[in-house]
Amino acid sequence: MKRLSLILAAAALLPAGNAMAALAVGAKAPDFTTRGALAGKTFTLTLAHQLKRGPVVLYFFPKAFTPGCSAEAREFAENIDKFKAAGATVIGMSADPVDDLVSFSTKECAGKFPVASAGPGIISGYDVALKMRPGMTDRTSYVIAPSGRIAFVHSEMNYANHVKATLDAVESMKAK
């Protein structure tokens, strides 16, 4: 655990911005089906199905129950009504097993939005592999338009700006 904390702390010092994300604005978001959890209950999550409801904020985080990932999940949960008012669905994704995410969905996400397991195909498709720690994802947030195209990308290991940046993006989409 101490080693993981050191790795995540070092990663937080990486440059901010979109340098880590490979999918550019306008690119087609890879569709996927995976297992997820919402309020402690597991279910099958398909991106295409979620996009039928409106834009999707798909945010990748390194590991459930680490300080930054827990803080980010709580901040998304605190702002979920604003995302819903903008017509957006929030989905957290990590390489954690679904069993870990069941608990995380209740404790840190407050049962307000789903978290899902990103397997190797999803991690590769969204180019979110944490280079310093195989088997984990970096911290990248995508806003995906209902058309399935990437509308906004924010990739930064520090969680602090992800919620505000993605909320601003979905609110600006609604204003158009």
Catalytic site positions: 69
- What span, in angstroms and rounded, lies between the C-alpha atoms of 170 and 102? 27
Torsion angle (degrees, nearest 10) of CA 116, 81, 111, 63? 40
Instruction: Evaluate whether 149 touches 27 at the Cβ level (below 8 Å).
Output: yes
d(CA 47, CA 154): 19
